[in-house]
Copies of this chain bind each other. A is one copy, B any other.
Amino acid sequence: MSIIIAVDIGGTQIRVAAYRRGSLEPVDVRRTPTRGEGAAFDRMCAVIQSIWPEHSTVEKIVVALPGPLDPETGVIFSAPNIPGWDNFPIGPELEKRFGVRTLIGNDANLAALGEWRFGAGQGHHHLLYLTVSTGIGGGVISDDRLLLGVRGLAGEVGHIAILPDGPLCGCGQRGHLEALASGPAITRYVQEQLSSGIESTLRLKHKLTARDISEAAAKGDALAIHALERAGTYIGQALATFVQLLNPSVVIFGGGVSFSGKYLLDPVRASLEKQIMDKSYLKNLLITHAELGDDAGLMGALALGLLPDN
């Protein structure tokens, strides 16, 4: 029985899972911290080695990586959190080390592919996936194919300009969606409001997180509800542009912030309906939550490994 080894390089940990073809339950999953002692690449290889099956053939290794990369050459262009991984040919290096075909993909792109194959997007041919957490990323499935673009950089949804001269974005520009509606952006907005004297149960929090805001919203806190509504409205505005360009049948929200549920997605829907140029785009358009949760990276890597071309 042949095995696909999926690797998910997350912000805090690197997870490695071995899947038997035809099964969604991994045979084994192991992990190592992303930032730990020694080179991340060597530790990752040690985990892959430790999970390597004795009596089965490994067909391929598939790696889900944060940040921009070229799926064709297997080079990751930059990984801010991992020293030495700028312009690092991680695909070829793994092939050299283990002697099996290695594929790499952007984690948000692969999450889109995972949701399409195994999650909330099953049965849809045109899908848009957005992950709203520390940043805002995404992936597009068009006609049952992952949209990659010429250098594998497609699917970047977080850096659409929304508010001229708006807040500074991590990329150096101003007013991007990510600077207005990501977890840290929502938290920053709430902190500003608290500083200006607005009343809220969130005032008691020592170190405010997006999760705190979600929870406060669920308990009726007006500021928390307003902050999520504001973020959702911006997301809906961006979504109108994406939906008009791509005409998907499903939009799937993943990432921590999307667990705010209706407090985020209701405003997203309202804003999208208000902003869309033509109601035809909304006919039968499903807007829903991701289903794969923390396994999106691994399952997405598996989905990529299972594509017939690969």
Chain A residues within 8 Å of B, Cβ to Cβ: 68, 77, 124-126, 140, 142-143, 145, 147-157, 159-164, 169, 171-173, 176, 237, 240-242, 244-249, 275, 277-278, 280-281, 283-284
Contacts and interface: CB of A to CB of B under 8 A. Distances in A.
A230 to B, nearest CB: 14
Main secondary structure of the interface of A (DSSP, over half): loop
B173 A247 contact: no
A162 to B, nearest CB: 8
Contact of A161 (B153, B154, B241): B241
Contacts of A275: 161, 173
Contact of A140 (B77, B150, B245): B245
Given A154-B245, A161-B237, 19 more contacts: A68-B280, A143-B148, A147-B246, A149-B246, A150-B284, A153-B244, A153-B247, A153-B278, A154-B246, A154-B247, A156-B244, A160-B241, A161-B162, A161-B240, A164-B164, A169-B277, A172-B277, A173-B275, A242-B245
Contacts of A151: 247, 280-281, 283
A176 B275 CA distance: 10
B246 A173 contact: no
23 contacts: A126-B149, A142-B142, A142-B147, A143-B145, A147-B147, A148-B247, A149-B246, A149-B248, A150-B248, A151-B247, A151-B281, A152-B247, A153-B247, A153-B280, A153-B281, A156-B277, A159-B241, A161-B237, A161-B241, A161-B275, A171-B277, A172-B277, A245-B246
Contact of A245 (B68, B156, B284): B156
